[in-house]
Amino acid sequence: MKQFNILLLVMMATTACNRSATNTASPGATSSLSSTPADYTPRIGVAVSTNSRTCIAIRNGNLAAGTVITLVSPIAPVISTQATIAGISQEACPITQNVDTTMSNYNVTAQNPVQKLTPMIAVVGTPTFTVNNNVGQADLDQNGRAESFRACSADNGVHLTVWKGAPLQGTLLWHGYYYEAANPAIGPSCTPAEMPAS
């Protein structure tokens, strides 16, 4: 009986040590996940206002009606306005020459009028938006460091980008494209860094 009790105590001590080791490892796993770069794809899309509607195209099929978004026009004059998802659009938002089936399309209701047929960046949520030296900025990650918005012109369209830090100097976080049949000459000419290979 005495041997059984000793064996039971050894097993209990081993189990307690294993639990302790497991609990110690958990925070390490969590912290390594938190250092993984953020995925901006489901949080940022391309928006445009036509004569009949304002809509966004985004790689996120889970936005419910009533979701608040921020529309950013990085083209001078740089502005932002809040908008609300009205619902799924039955027609693709007219931002590409051919329909991109990887995009989800939504009609939105903007709080303020937005310029017609001018491409905008749509951000899910309501980040605090500022303009610094004609560059739109917002802290998308709530970490005290602003991300920057930019638009540039290339053949047949406008490239829209979001940067960690200053445009063209920081890290490119997101890229979108708005097709226009003739070079729209909106904003500066694009550099290779603003036109990543698809």
With pLDDT > 70 as the criterion, what percentage of the chain qualifies? Answer: 79
pTM exceeding the 0.85 threshold for the entire prediction: no
Compute and round to an integer the Cα radius of gyration of the chain. 24
Whole-number pLDDT of residue 6: 38
Distance CA 6, CA 149 (A): 67
Tokens for 34? 């938190």
pLDDT reading at 16 higher than 90: no
Spatial CA neighbour of 123 closest among 178, 80, 77:
80
Whole-angstrom distance, CA of residue 102 vs CA of residue 95: 13
Q: What is the pLDDT of residue 83?
A: 97
Task: Quick: pLDDT tens for 90-100.
Answer: 999 999 999 89
Interval 24-35: pLDDT, tens: 332 222 222 334
User: Could you read off the pLDDT of 113-165 as tens digits, one per residue?
Assistant: 999 999 999 999 999 999 998 999 999 988 999 999 999 998 889 999 999 99
Please give the residue that has the higher pLDDT: either 161 or 1: 161
For range 61-79, the mean pLDDT:
95
Q: What ranges do the domains of the chain cover?
A: 1-34, 44-194
pLDDT (average), residues 52-79: 96
Average confidence score pLDDT of the chain: 82
- β strands within the chain, DSSP E: 44-49, 54-58, 68-73, 79-88, 104-110, 120-124, 129-132, 135-138, 147-154, 157-164, 171-179
Other CB atoms within a 10 A radius of the CB of residue 85 amount to 20
CB atoms within 10 A of CB 44: 25
